Amino acid sequence: MNIVDLIIKKRDGGKLTKEEIEFFIKGVTDSSIPDYQVSAMLMAIYFQDLDNEETSELTMAMAHSGGTFDLSSVEGIKVDKHSTGGVADTTTLILAPLVASCGVPVIKMSGRGLGFSGGTLDKLESIPGFKIDVTEEQALEYAKTSGIVLMSQTDNLTPADKKLYALRDVTGTVDNLALISGSIMSKKIAAGADAIVLDVKCGSGAFMKDYPSAVKLAKTMAEIGKSVGRNVTAVISSMDQPLGMNIGNSLEVIEAIEVLKGNVKGDLLDVALTLGAYMLIGAKKVNSVEEGISMLTENINNGKGLAKFRELLIQQHGNPDIIEDYSLLPLSKAKLEVRADSDGYIYSMNTAEIGRSSLETGAGRASKTDSIDFGSGIIMKVRIGDTVSKGDVIAEIYSATEEKCISAGKYLKDAIEIKAEKPEQPKLILDIIS
């Protein structure tokens, strides 16, 4: 088999066989196919696309390009969750302990943030002492004793995806549904989950800006899951404003704890409960969304969700005292209040620009090698539809320097539109695909 022949075949619109896809992924994994030919294949796929069968074969070849996580020794149906990324999306820190507190094991491998999309690992590392590097043996032990593990991806998991992602990033081939779906689903399948719940973000602060694109991505991933025997549910949720009120690593940890304490309501809680309910359905713990939300809400009210979060902290060497004392978490010293320029309603938000503002504070990274200021970020004071008067504080910005606060404030102010007319309240859950 010759890689040039396969590149030409796909370039001309041909369909790749299972054997040809496996040959390509093996060559990517062991570097027997040079980067320039891999890049050529990626460009051919970008323009000619893959059909559902090819996408499924690509996904499984990537999933088996390295080791897979065998969770069979952990009792019960294992359910995983993935978000396509957004601003102030703190759901994992809320729903993982909540779902685990309902008796469903949650073994979740998470990633770091890039750009304005915050990474769960960065949020966890803002907690003093928390260890994200967990071996497979430790993860299985934790899963059997506490029912919850939040960890970094192991080195031997989906090595082909790591190489392909790096090349897609520098060859302009990121924006392809088959390649996006294969990347996401290969990691989820390799991680050993029986059922997968996807949070596909849609809106100004999401990768998929419009509803049809979000639906297409959700359906593609659901079809992949079905073809390989996994139960996949995709929740399409709005990202036309930040999901939570806190943006930034330690700030989002605080908001997650406040949700688990029962002190915070609103969109962040509602999305977490919806995703958690579908995780419980996937685990056959409940039969309906309403039953799942009720069970999760009860475990907020009775403190079981918060207790499971504390157990997670102790287990992975994080300081549990942060639950009562937020001053133990980092908070940057410089502060700037952003104020409304006029009276009216908060009419719209450019969520990507708000994310760019958080990036300016130091809360995110523009490239994978950038360091993060765990204590920087933004606390939003308004939601779409709120009334404001001129001079009202609409956000607080925290960063290491006043200069960074001022730079972030300019982006933030430009991102928020105030009008005299009242806007329609944005719908939070746009669709469910399963």
Q: Which residues are catalytic?
A: 82, 161, 168, 183, 187
Q: Which residues pair with 231 in a beta bridge?
A: 195
CA distance 171 to 267: 36
CB 305 within 8 A of CB 97: yes
Task: For the beta carbon of residue 422, count every other beta carbon within 10 angstroms.
Answer: 12
Instruction: Match 């050993």 to its residue by tokens.
Output: 192
46's tokens: 């970008």
158: left (phi over 0), alpha (psi -120 to 50) or beta: left
- Report which of 265, 295, 262, 264 is spatially closest to residue 281, judged by C-alpha positions: 295
What number of other Cβ atoms are within 10 A of residue 150's Cβ?
Answer: 25
**Amino acid sitting at position 367:** S
CA pair distance 318, 93, nearest whole angstrom = 14
Residue 231: in which H helix or E strand, if any? Answer: strand 231-238
- Rounded CA gap, 382 and 389, in Å? 12
CA–CA gap between residue 110 and residue 132 (Å, rounded): 9
Beta-bridge partner residues of 150: 108
Share of the chain residues as helix, strand and coil, in percent rounded to the nearest 5: 45, 15, 35
Where on the phi/psi map is residue 394: left (φ > 0), alpha (ψ -120 to 50), or beta? alpha
CA distance 230 to 194: 6
Nearest CA to 352 among 216, 250, 208, 246? 208
Q: At what angle do helices 18-29 and 159-171 cross, to 10 degrees?
A: 90
Q: In what order do the strands lie in the sheet with 387-388?
A: 387-388, 344-349, 416-419
